[in-house]
Structure 1
Amino acid sequence: MSSACKNIIAELNRGDKLEGDNYDIWYRKFQYVLEEQEVKETLFHLMEEPEQGTTAQHIRDQEAYNAWKRKNSIARITLLSCMQDDRMCEFEEYETAKGIWEALKEKFGATSATKVRRFNQKFNDYKKRPNQSMRQHLRVMPNMIRELKTAGQIMSDEQQVQAVLRSLPESWDPMKIQMTHNDNVKTFEGISRHLELEDERLEAARPFNESNYASSSSGMKRKRGNFGNKASEQANPKKQKKHAKRGKKGGKKDKTKMKCYNCDSLGHFARECTEAKKVLSLDTSRKYAYVSSCVMLAESNPLWIVDAGATDHVARSCEAFTEYRRIPKGTRWLYVGNNTKFAVMGIGTRQLHMRGGKTLILHDVLYAPEIRWDLVSVLALLKLGFSLNFYDMGLHISLGSVFYGSGYTYDGFIILDCNTTTSSNNNDRFTFVTSSTNNETDVWHARLGHIGVDRMKRLAKEGLLGSLAQIDLNTCESCLAGKAIRKPFGKATRAKYPLQLIHSHICGPMNVRARHGASYFITFTDDYTRFGHVYLISHNSEALECFRRYVNLVENQMDKTIKCLRTDRGGEYLSEQFKELCDEKGIVRQLTTPYTPKQNGVSERRNQTLLEMVRSMMAQANLPVSYWGDALLTAAYVLNLVPTKSVISTSYELWTGRKHVLTHLRPWESTAFVQNISHPHGKLVPRGKKCIFIRYSEPSKRYVLIDEQTDGSVAEIESRDVTFLENDFPKRGEIDKEFHLKELIDPTDTPPIQPMEVNASSNELPQLSGRNTLVDNFSMMKSKEFELRRSNRGKIPRCHFEIEGEAFMVALHDDLESKSVYEALSCLNSDEWNSAIGEELESMKVNHVWDLVD
């Protein structure tokens, strides 16, 4: 049996035996005893003696019964021995511990209306005794609350707080009033903490009395006893040596060098001092210690603290000053107990409206915005002739025979009981102060051109905003309209496996058509592997068919299904056919917020990377811009084989699960010799044919090359028997190195240029709508095809400007002119352009310059 169990049994046998009224605490202690003895299960289980037998099962049953019988005997004897004699005689007739336990529970543990009323009466009548400390008083009340809870009556936090206040004696009435009006005290623990702190403060501030004398006398007796022990220690050197060792480890201290904090004498501690305890001292040598505790340890609170150590009144806000004078920063400082100094920004006069109706005027109040409390100096009030009468629960302030006000104690401080505050408060009497402050802050905010709050606080701190010292700016709708910014984008959640999330985006139309007629390209990128597929399309309406092909391809390859598709809000993705396809496949749609392409950043970044690679490849090559489609497919192929920042390896490895090699990669548009298999072999016929490499073949391991025919056309050749000249880039067709491939975003941009190698009749230009009639007529005239004739006008020699200034002016004028009809009719001078075009068309019609036909 452990020592803890023995102690509990000793307590139960000594004075805590069961009488009946103490059942609630007795049965808890008794369960600990039985649990330690490992016989607690006998209180809840019975076992009958098994039948006699010789089988193994009968033997096991008999052993189990013998063990239970032994435990039951121990539990029963322990139960009866922990009862009073009359109770023991009453319950010893029960043969099992379970029977005794249930009988006790039925008699003393049953909940009844009478028991609940008895507990309530006991709880309501409980009062703090005069010789009882607050800590002891508060330890009894939780037990009563638990008894009521066990009886089925649960008290709320507010009821517990009211019960604690009701149990306090009349000497605690000021504290009761203070706690009643304190909205922050809401629980039993909260009010207990306040009461214990106040009790400690009262105990420390209580003057010298008989109780202290008694404790001091007992201490002296102990000292005399120690002197006697000292003689015995001298007779016993081992004991003396043992005590010396203990002193070295931090035991008793040498008091001869210790200074008493109460009387400033050497030789004893403050707790042993026989002088009267100091309540509040006006000793200027300690004036900063009390200020230091107020400033550095307390929380910010709109309260005025009466400070006996402060030499001047101090305020942390100047907004309520009736008179105020700003002083240069750094000319005066406020020092606190830990040698910290705070800058004084100004000096003024402050009025405090006391609770009784009097107004206390404080002169020469120091404005220190960095301090955390408002302080009322006792010395400053005494100089003006005020009388301050301190007592155990606060103070009274009077001037002659006129009573001005009072103060109360709170958290070890004396708080002035006044109505004025500089902070926002829930009480109605402070509403006008906050309202005027907000209005003044709004006015200064408008005067300063809607600058930020931080800058206004700096100006107010330096006293440049007049009487405004605390910035409390309301929500400014003008700032919301003029300074609206985009919210930051959080980190996106990555997919956990392939095809869980697919990113898609359409790029185009490009400013030049590809040689096969494509003006757009669409990308599909897997979020987990970042493996991408690219499709060249001539119109964005082909996105549906490309997505259908992509779904069939990847789901068959990966043996998985696409879970989610993230796109922008382009019309090609919002069509009913696209929606039906996603619903049929069970694909969840994720659409970006309008004008927020960053939410589809994976596709946007993929398209940008592809275009950058295409521009770089075409800048090195000597092919026309119409070959950008082949360069794009090559770039997409290479991009899947190289590492990225988003995956640990390469996209190809994660997608296929196989390692890859890069030895087959070749520079785009480099010269290549292909084995000539179409020409009959002869002794003098070349075995290879010179071609140009344009892309890789997806279905098989082959290169796609172009071969220029005798009629000027080109033919594509796919072959694996290729030898490259990687530093040779042949030239074909007209090459414009100054022409840049770009995506047409603005509808006023020039439509895609039709390459010469593609039949223009098979590719229609995008139609523009939403213009006026004149523009439509002009577009119709422009779209007509006319037979070109050679001009009969003679050549006019070029006229070069000789003055550089005039040439510069002409160049500047050319830059300012509109580049198209659409741009001219959408600029600021559209009316003049409209009139000029009308006059020109009318002149052409009168002069019969054009013959319009149906």
Structure 2
Amino acid sequence: MTKRPFTGKGYRAKEPLELIHSDLCGSVNVKAKRGIYFIDDYSRYGYFYLMEHKSGALEKFKEYKAEVENLLSKKIKIPRSDRGGEYMDLRFQDYMIEHGIQSQLLAPGTPQQNSVSERRSRTLLDMVHSMMSYAQLPSSFWGYAVEATLRILDNVPLKSVSETSFELWRGRKPSLSHFRIWGCPARSKVTPRSWKKLEPRSKLCQFVGYPKEMRGGLFFDPQENRVFVSTNATFLEEDHMRDHKPRSKLVLNEATDESTRVVDEVDETTTLDDDVEHPLFYKQAMNDVDMDQWVKAMDLEMESMYFNSVWELVDLPEGVKPIGCKLTYKRKRDSTGKVQTFKARLVAKGYTQREGVDYEETFFPVAMLKSIRILLSIATFYDYEIWQIDVKTAFQNGNLEERIFMSQREGFITQG
């Protein structure tokens, strides 16, 4: 017996606090092991509260209820949650009945009914993992990371709502000027009452979040081991981005045995030549350290153009403005990061064309993923061999029905 497909679409709230999604997240070996978040269905605006035990869910719901109902002058109608023990607790249910709140508990084994909470939990987890790994703060700061993540999600556009969550929740457009890289170093001004003669007037700390309903930021002082609020700080984001080095990189290399793959760990001291920039223009390529390689790549590209008869040299008719073109350059690397080939491609500046005047439609022929899966399934069933063919400069084999005039490329101008 298999599960029936889930095809139903959930009800969408028409106003704030009509439907609230809630769930628990986190299970970290720190003092505040868990957190509970509440997501408004109408605006997708979220609140997050830390707690030491699941049993604290009722107190955090009371805190959330008092805060949002006082802010919006509305009442919470329906909170939706799974059948976790914290929501099935008799004290929690009695509180709902006492305040006339209709608790909506989902059917067991149907996370699809709680899709808003499940999706938000996954998004929070991914963003927190990324922020924590980059900031290199202890795991006890995961709560600050979740709160900062929710603040970001509340102020950026989402697919599920027409405007930002902040705008639907507060009724005004959000400001993004105060957002900073989470975990970046900052210099915070020391308060005058703690000044001492000949001591610095600022101290180095780390940015860990945004205080509730006030200006400034939350900063962690590693010397005093405390988090404080400050409005006078200089953020060292550029230094943080420049000096950050990943701990390790994983590079996949094909083994000699086709049935196995090996993973090589590349030490952070290994140089992959990622700092070398690609030339943007013809003059840059001619002044590059690999000028000879770029010349060979350009000659090869032009030879393929001549071989496939891509164009015909003609005099430009009067009143016609030709389309420009340029050469793009790229260093192709192998799995170890070493430069393998130098590639130069001649492309037309199609962005100078106007739809309805210079062209009618644009398209790029690709195979559907379903078709590829079907072919692979057939090949597997009948034990066929699969061959992959790469057609070099495949676009040159297409037929162009329109008559397009393009100017000649710098460095390859033919007189006559």
- Taking structure 2 as the reference length, the TM-score comes to 0.56
Q: Which of 713, 716, 726 is residue 237 of structure 2 equivalent to?
A: 726
CA shift, 1:676, in A, is 1.1
Correspondence 1:507 to 2:25: yes
CA shift, 1:604, in A, is 1.1
SS in 1 for 2:239: coil
CA shift, 1:565, in A, is 0.9
SS in 2 for 1:534: strand
SS in 2 for 1:716: strand
Report the equivalent of 1:468. none
Correspondence 1:495 to 2:13: yes
Matched AA of 2:77: K
With a CA cutoff of 8 Å and minimum separation of 6, indicate the structure with the bigger relative contact order.
2
SS in 1 for 2:88: coil
CA shift, 1:591, in A, is 1.0
Q: Is the 8 A contact 1:624 1:736 kept in 2?
A: no
Q: Which of 506, 515, 540 is residue 54 of structure 2 equivalent to?
A: 540
Task: Name the CA distance, whole Å, in 2 between partners of 1:629 and 1:728.
Answer: 25
User: After the TM superposition, which residues 825-840 of structure 1 pair with which residues of structure 2 at under 5 Å, given as runs?
Assistant: none
Report the equivalent of 1:553. 67
**Per-residue displacement from partner, 1:282-333 (whole Å, max 9, x unpaired)?**
xxxxxxxxxxxxxxxxxxxxxxxxxxxxxxxxxxxxxxxxxxxxxxxxxxxx
Report the equivalent of 2:102. 588
**Per-residue displacement from partner, 1:770-791 (whole Å, max 9, x unpaired)?**
xxxxxxxxxxxxxxxxxxxxxx
- Larger radius of gyration, structure 1 or 2? 1
CA shift, 1:706, in A, is 1.1
Q: Which one has the bigger helix percentage? A: 1
Q: Is the 8 A contact 1:530 1:647 kept in 2?
A: yes
SS in 2 for 1:509: coil
Task: Name the CA distance, whole Å, in 1 between partners of 2:155 and 2:87.
Answer: 29
Task: Name the CA distance, whole Å, in 2 between partners of 1:737 and 1:598.
Answer: 37
User: After the TM superposition, which residues 317-716 of structure 1 pair with which residues of structure 2 at under 5 Å, given as runs?
Assistant: 481=1, 484-510=2-28, 512-513=29-30, 517-677=31-191, 678-680=193-195, 682=197, 684-709=198-223, 713-716=224-227
User: After the TM superposition, which residues 151-162 of structure 1 pair with which residues of structure 2 at under 5 Å, given as runs?
Assistant: none
The alignment yields a C-alpha RMSD, in angstroms, of 2.0
CA shift, 1:621, in A, is 1.4
CA shift, 1:502, in A, is 0.4
Matched AA of 1:727: E
**Per-residue displacement from partner, 1:532-578 (whole Å, max 9, x unpaired)?**
00111111111000001111111111100011111000011011110
In structure 2, relative to structure 1, the CA distance for the partners of 1:637 and 1:737 (3 Å cut) is farther
TM superposition outliers: structure 1 runs of 4+ over 6 Å: 735-738
Matched AA of 2:37: T
- Taking structure 1 as the reference length, the TM-score comes to 0.28
Q: Which one has the bigger strand percentage? A: 2
Report the equivalent of 2:269. none
Task: Name the CA distance, whole Å, in 2 between partners of 1:637 and 1:586.
Answer: 30
**Per-residue displacement from partner, 1:570-601 (whole Å, max 9, x unpaired)?**
01101111011111221111111111111111
Matched AA of 2:178: H
In structure 2, relative to structure 1, the CA distance for the partners of 1:620 and 1:508 (3 Å cut) is closer
Task: Name the CA distance, whole Å, in 2 between partners of 1:518 and 1:680.
Answer: 34
CA shift, 1:488, in A, is 2.0
CA shift, 1:729, in A, is 4.0
Task: Name the CA distance, whole Å, in 1 between partners of 2:248 and 2:111.
Answer: 31
Matched AA of 1:487: P
Matched AA of 1:659: K
Task: Name the CA distance, whole Å, in 1 between partners of 2:113 and 2:205.
Answer: 44
CA shift, 1:622, in A, is 2.0
Task: Name the CA distance, whole Å, in 1 between partners of 2:140 and 2:222.
Answer: 16
How much identity, in percent, do the aligned residues show? 45
In structure 2, relative to structure 1, the CA distance for the partners of 1:736 and 1:580 (3 Å cut) is farther
Matched AA of 2:18: Q
Q: Is the 8 A contact 1:619 1:737 kept in 2?
A: no
Task: Name the CA distance, whole Å, in 2 between partners of 1:594 and 1:518.
Answer: 28
Q: Is the 8 A contact 2:6 2:112 kept in 1?
A: no
Task: Name the CA distance, whole Å, in 2 between partners of 1:592 and 1:716.
Answer: 39
Task: Name the CA distance, whole Å, in 2 between partners of 1:728 and 1:701.
Answer: 24
**Per-residue displacement from partner, 1:383-428 (whole Å, max 9, x unpaired)?**
xxxxxxxxxxxxxxxxxxxxxxxxxxxxxxxxxxxxxxxxxxxxxx
Q: Is the 8 A contact 2:189 2:233 kept in 1?
A: yes
Task: Name the CA distance, whole Å, in 2 between partners of 1:674 and 1:547.
Answer: 35
SS in 2 for 1:504: strand
**Per-residue displacement from partner, 1:805-852 (whole Å, max 9, x unpaired)?**
xxxxxxxxxxxxxxxxxxxxxxxxxxxxxxxxxxxxxxxxxxxxxxxx
Report the equivalent of 1:717. 228
Q: Is the 8 A contact 2:33 2:53 kept in 1?
A: yes
CA shift, 1:681, in A, is 5.8
Task: Name the CA distance, whole Å, in 2 between partners of 1:685 and 1:714.
Answer: 19
**Per-residue displacement from partner, 1:668-697 (whole Å, max 9, x unpaired)?**
111111111143364x43222111111111
CA shift, 1:490, in A, is 1.2
SS in 1 for 2:36: strand
Q: Is the 8 A contact 2:128 2:142 kept in 1?
A: yes
Report the equivalent of 2:348. none
Report the equivalent of 1:405. none
